[in-house]
Amino acid sequence: MPATYRLGVDIGGTFTDLVLIDEASGSVRVGKLLTTPKDPAQGVETGIVRLLEEMGVPARAVGSLIHGTTLATNALIERKGARTGLLTTRGFRDALEIGREGRYDMYDLFIDPPPPLAPRHLRREVDERLLADGSVMTPLDEAGAREVIRNLLGEGVEAVAICLLHAYRNPAHELRLAALLGEMAPALPVSCSSDVVPEIREYERASTTVANVYVMPLMAKYVEDLERKLADLGIVGQLYIMLSSGGIALPETAKRVPIRLVESGPAAGALAAGRAAKLAGEPRLLSFDMGGTTAKACVIDGGEPLVAREFEVARADRFKKGSGLPIRVPVIEMIEIGAGGGSIARVDRLGLLKVGPESAGADPGPACYALGGREPTVTDADLLLGYLDPDFFLGGLMRLNVEAARRAVGERIAGPLGLDPIEAAWGIHRVVNENMAAAARIHGIERGKDLRAYPLFAFGGAGPVHAWQVGKILKVPRLLLPFGAGAISAFGLLAAPLAFDFVRTAPQQLDQAEWEGVNRLYAEMEAEGRRILAAAGVTGGAVGMRRTAEMRYVGQGHEVEVPVPPGRLGRESLETLTRNFETAYRALYGRTAQGVAIEALNWRLVVSGPPREIRMEDGGDTAPAQTVSDTARRSTRPALKRRRPAYFAEAGGFVETPVYDRYGLAPGATVEGPAIVEERESTAVIGPGCRVGVDETLMLHVELPL
């Protein structure tokens, strides 16, 4: 059998999602199972075996597997990486402690920033010094460096980061230190800042390089274990790993720069939302991904999610910028809220109802899972409100215990607040919706976006359950609820192109720029990118290039990213670059400065392969309840399944609500709210006064009442 299948696997904090696509027929199969936190690869293996058996597909027919994981992020948050040392220029040992010398909360005398991943006694200095232009001021003292390395190895380090002053302009000293480490400890993982993040700003560069090597042994072992499990299953197709920027890379890249994987799972969801925006002809969307552990919001403009060049992990305070470890890598820009189906509700010391950010996760999970969890969660509240069918969770593969949910909500929330369990459940539901809407609104405001003009694209297992209320709070024009919403992130994996991002720091005042030097930098980056893509079989005209530069007015401390035109740059490019900078600057700040020179700091290039297509055509005789296909679209099964009581405050409480089978709603069908629409991996709750239409892709378009 030819290898015509592609498989996407996304590991979340609570569920692992899988999507299998037959490229020959367009048939799509979705799988979902609880994540195995102690050994994530085990859950992946179990899910793959189950999915292939359900489809009757031999393992050898899988031509490629694209994988997204939060393993690197979790290792950084939980401090479960390698014992890491740092080699740096004499005098810069404490750059990781000093940071930006700012306080993320001016009025809190007891703020507790996260300690560096490389403790002070494992940070060692070497004698060398480069100037800002890359020229050598003090040569590297190799004899002294050997002694420093010998002492560091005696401390039992398991990985070493190398970050020397101005190495982004001249990597020679870093490369020599790496060679010395290779001689003295050949098996020791080593990361050089000139390889991981070759750009200006010492603290961010050091923090990112240390974080990269900190998770390198863990990620290398995980990827190798996964490759071995796939081989044991008989899958010989190529494994790809999702990057946090929205591209995919080969396992070798993931092992070398695992820090680029820190947001790979959430990035896939935003990528899928961007693709949906293009297919639906929507110029803008607000992506809303609510799973079992967290919710993520992302602004989509022109079919493309916003991309940031820096973010933070392991924040001491989840919502306070500056309280975490800065990571300087490209990442799809989104806000993450500690609000998922497994988020735990509690009554605080002031007698106020709080929800999250703590989560029950997959182990032990919400109380209604009956797996040992006793804390009330959002899923428990949704079950009591009638939004979820206890007999149809995951398509009936997992039965929910209503009494366990009622007991947890009653004992921990209703009792202390003097409410009945339903009132308490509604309180939990409202609080989590308000939290998510507030975070999304702030995310939009910080980027100068009015979310009232952005339709809400809701997915994830819990996203369609809460989208109606969140959309009402945000006053969005309408909701878009995709087919297979519970596994959309895995769909996003399959749509991701091979891509990689490069950067070089070369400060240039535009009206005095040394353009030939800039052209050489772009040529070097392009050649490196083509080599990476060629290893995956992408060559010639299939390779795409997108150039940008980070620019600012002379004297400013931060930059904005600006498109750079293709082709050779020269003085004739000055007008275009100036216009592009002023457009980007005005979009952020509403004005431009007159008579102030412009400078470029970092020059960037994204090299990518062609986007992957997901065709959804006739899938044969597979069950329409589990397959997206023309068979499902032409289904004659009745759309109305039953009625059940569901809570709608606007209607005064519980209402006998029609429950629709998602697989029985063909294109052109319409539904009036209140209503509930069920599919295997998710449930959509439609409020009173809403009108719902089904389009050709089986997307639900929900018009909210004015």
Buried b (16+ CB within 10 A) or exposed e, 181-214: beeebeebbbbbbbbbbbbbbbbbbbbbbbbbbb
Please, are residues 212 and 30 in contact by the beta-carbon 8 Å criterion? no
Please, are residues 293 and 35 in contact by the beta-carbon 8 Å criterion? no
Q: Which of 28, 46, 16 lies closest to 494, judged by CA?
A: 28
CA distances from 550 to 331, 371, 450, 581, 604 (A): 15, 50, 25, 9, 8
DSSP reduced 3-state for 525: helix
Give the separation between CA 448 and CA 438, rounded to whole angstroms.
Answer: 15
Please tell me the total number of residues recorded for the chain in this structure: 706
- Backbone dihedral region for residue 672 (phi beyond 0: left; psi -120 to 50: alpha; all else: beta): beta
What is the per-residue pLDDT for 623? 35
> What does residue 418 show for φ and ψ, rounded to 5 degrees?
70, 35
Buried b (16+ CB within 10 A) or exposed e, 58-77: ebebbbbbbbbbbbbbbbbe
> What does residue 660 show for φ and ψ, rounded to 5 degrees?
-105, 145
The tokens of 107 are what?
A: 């009025």
The tokens of 417 are what?
A: 């607040």
Give the separation between CA 326 and CA 157, rounded to whole angstroms.
Answer: 23
**Looking at residue 369, what DSSP letter applies?**
G
**Looking at residue 283, what DSSP letter applies?**
S
Q: Tokens 């989840």 correspond to what residue?
A: 318
The tokens of 155 are what?
A: 């401390």
Give the separation between CA 505 and CA 155, rounded to whole angstroms.
Answer: 34
Give the H/E segment covering residue 230. helix 202-233
What is the per-residue pLDDT for 631? 38
Please, are residues 243 and 225 in contact by the beta-carbon 8 Å criterion? no
Q: Which of 377, 387, 464 lies closest to 428, judged by CA?
A: 377
Q: What is the dihedral of CA 265, 266, 271, 273, to 10 degrees?
A: 130
Give the separation between CA 323 and CA 81, rounded to whole angstroms.
Answer: 20
Give the separation between CA 74 and CA 630, rounded to whole angstroms.
Answer: 40
> CB-hemisphere CA count at 13 Å for 472?
15
Please, are residues 329 and 260 in contact by the beta-carbon 8 Å criterion? yes
Give the H/E segment covering residue 252. helix 251-256
CB atoms within 10 A of CB 658: 20
Running along the chain, 706 residues long, what does each successive block of 10 average in pLDDT?
A: 80 84 80 82 88 88 87 81 96 90 78 86 96 94 96 96 95 97 96 93 94 94 90 90 86 91 82 84 90 86 84 72 85 82 91 88 89 94 96 89 96 94 96 92 84 93 94 94 87 84 92 94 93 83 91 92 94 94 90 92 92 50 37 58 94 95 92 93 94 91 89
Q: What is the dihedral of CA 28, 34, 39, 45, to 10 degrees?
A: -30
* Dihedral sign for Cα atoms in the order 392, 398, 401, 406: negative
What is the per-residue pLDDT for 245? 86
Please, are residues 311 and 263 in contact by the beta-carbon 8 Å criterion? yes
What is the per-residue pLDDT for 613? 64
Please, are residues 173 and 167 in contact by the beta-carbon 8 Å criterion? yes
**Looking at residue 116, what DSSP letter applies?**
P
CB atoms within 10 A of CB 594: 5
331: β partners: 308
* Cα angle, residue 390 at apex, residues 389 and 392 outer, rounded to 5°: 65
Q: Which of 346, 233, 247 lies closest to 544, judged by CA?
A: 247
Determine the distance from the C-alpha atom of residue 300 to the mean position of all C-alpha atoms in its chain, rounded to a whole number: 14
DSSP reduced 3-state for 119: coil
What is the per-residue pLDDT for 152? 96
What is the per-residue pLDDT for 214? 96
Give the separation between CA 508 and CA 601, rounded to whole angstroms.
Answer: 7
